[in-house]
Chains A and B, each alone.
Chain A
Amino acid sequence: MNLPKSTMRRRDLGKVGEWAAIAMLSALVIGAVFAPFVAPYDPLAQDLTNIMQPPFASMAHPLGTDFLGRDMLSRIIYGAQPPMVVGAFAVLLALVIGVPLGIMSGWRGGWPDMAIGRLADIQMSIPGLVLALLVLAMLGKHLSLVVLIIALESWPLHYRVVRAYVQSVRGNGYVEAASLAGVGPVGITFRHLLPGVVPLLAVTATANVATAVLAEAALSYLGMGVVPPTADWGSMVAEGQTQLSGAWWISVLPGFALIALLLSVQVIGNAISARQSLGGRDL
Chain B
Amino acid sequence: MPPSTSGPTPANTASTGAFRSARLPIGPRVLGHRLLAAAFAVWAAVTIVFVMITATGDPALALAPEDASAAQVEQIRARYGFDQPIPVQYVRFVVDLATGGFPSSLYSRQTAAQVVLGTLPNTLLLGGAGIAIGVLLGGTVGYLSVFARFRVVREVPISVLMVFQSIPAFLTGILLILLFSLQLRWLPTSGARSWWSLILPAVTVGLSLAPAIARLLRSALMEQITADYVNTARAKGLTRRRIRLHHILGNSLVPVVTLVGLQAGSLLSGIVVVETVFAWPGLGSQLVKSVNLHDYPVVVTAVIVVAIAYVLLSLLVDLLVMLLNPRSRY
Interface residues of A (CB under 8 A from B): 1-3, 122, 124-131, 133-140, 210, 214, 217-218, 221-224, 237, 241, 244-245, 248, 251-252, 255, 258-259, 262-263, 265-266, 281-282
- A sample of 8 inter-chain contacts (CB < 8 A) reads A125-B41, A130-B306, A138-B59, A224-B288, A224-B291, A241-B174, A252-B174, A259-B167
Closest CB pairs A-B (n = 6): A129-B269, A262-B166, A137-B291, A127-B265, A263-B166, A255-B171
**CB nearest neighbor in A for B292:** A223
Interface residues of B (CB under 8 A from A): 41, 44-45, 48-49, 52-53, 56, 59, 62, 146-147, 154, 163, 165-171, 174-175, 177-178, 182, 189, 212, 215-216, 219, 222, 225, 259, 264-266, 268-269, 272-273, 276-277, 287-288, 291-292, 294, 296, 299-300, 303, 306-307, 310, 314
A2-B59 in contact given A251-B174, A258-B168 (Cβ < 8 Å): no
Chain A residue contacts of B296, Cβ below 8 A: 137
User: Are B273 and A129 in contact, with the CB atoms below 8 A?
Assistant: yes
Chain A residue contacts of B222, Cβ below 8 A: 3
Chain A residue contacts of B259, Cβ below 8 A: 282
A137-B296, A218-B169 known, 4 other contacts, Cβ within 8 Å: A2-B147, A255-B171, A259-B166, A282-B216
**CB nearest neighbor in B for A255:** B171
User: Are A127 and B171 in contact, with the CB atoms below 8 A?
Assistant: no
Chain A residue contacts of B189, Cβ below 8 A: 244
A127-B291 in contact given A2-B146, A255-B174 (Cβ < 8 Å): no
Complex CA gap A245/B269 in Å reads: 27
Chain B residue contacts of A1, Cβ below 8 A: 225
Complex CA gap A218/B56 in Å reads: 24
Q: Which of B165, B169, B303 contacts A134 (CB 8 A)?
A: B303
Chain A residue contacts of B171, Cβ below 8 A: 237, 255, 258-259
CB distance from B259 to the nearest CB of A (A): 8
User: Are A133 and B166 in contact, with the CB atoms below 8 A?
Assistant: no
Chain B residue contacts of A244, Cβ below 8 A: 174, 177-178, 182, 189
Complex CA gap A221/B277 in Å reads: 9
**CB nearest neighbor in A for B268:** A127
User: Are B175 and A252 in contact, with the CB atoms below 8 A?
Assistant: yes
Most buried by A among B174, B182, B296: B174
CB distance from A2 to the nearest CB of B (A): 6
CB distance from A23 to the nearest CB of B (A): 17
Most buried by A among B41, B168, B182: B168
Complex CA gap A137/B296 in Å reads: 9
Chain B residue contacts of A134, Cβ below 8 A: 49, 52, 291, 299-300, 303
Complex CA gap A109/B56 in Å reads: 34
User: Are B178 and A218 in contact, with the CB atoms below 8 A?
Assistant: no
Chain A residue contacts of B291, Cβ below 8 A: 133-134, 136-137, 224
Chain A residue contacts of B306, Cβ below 8 A: 127, 130
User: Are A138 and B268 in contact, with the CB atoms below 8 A?
Assistant: no
Most buried by B among A3, A129, A263, A266: A129
CB distance from B252 to the nearest CB of A (A): 14
**CB nearest neighbor in A for B48:** A126
A125-B314 in contact given A133-B288, A140-B62, A218-B273 (Cβ < 8 Å): yes
**CB nearest neighbor in A for B277:** A241
Chain A residue contacts of B49, Cβ below 8 A: 134
Q: Which of A127, A139, A214, A282 contacts B168 (CB 8 A)?
A: A214
Complex CA gap A81/B59 in Å reads: 32
CB distance from B283 to the nearest CB of A (A): 10
A139-B56 in contact given A122-B44, A125-B265 (Cβ < 8 Å): yes
CB distance from B67 to the nearest CB of A (A): 15
Chain A residue contacts of B147, Cβ below 8 A: 2
Complex CA gap A237/B233 in Å reads: 54
User: Are A135 and B52 in contact, with the CB atoms below 8 A?
Assistant: yes
User: Are B182 and A133 in contact, with the CB atoms below 8 A?
Assistant: no
Chain B residue contacts of A139, Cβ below 8 A: 56, 62
Q: Which of B165, B216, B294, B310 contacts A127 (CB 8 A)?
A: B310
User: Are A217 and B168 in contact, with the CB atoms below 8 A?
Assistant: yes
User: Are B62 and A128 in contact, with the CB atoms below 8 A?
Assistant: no
Complex CA gap A122/B49 in Å reads: 13
Complex CA gap A34/B93 in Å reads: 50
Chain B residue contacts of A136, Cβ below 8 A: 291
Chain B residue contacts of A259, Cβ below 8 A: 166-167, 171
Q: Which of B52, B170, B174, B269 contacts A138 (CB 8 A)?
A: B52
Most buried by A among B48, B166, B189, B310: B166
Complex CA gap A140/B66 in Å reads: 11
Complex CA gap A124/B85 in Å reads: 31
Complex CA gap A214/B49 in Å reads: 24
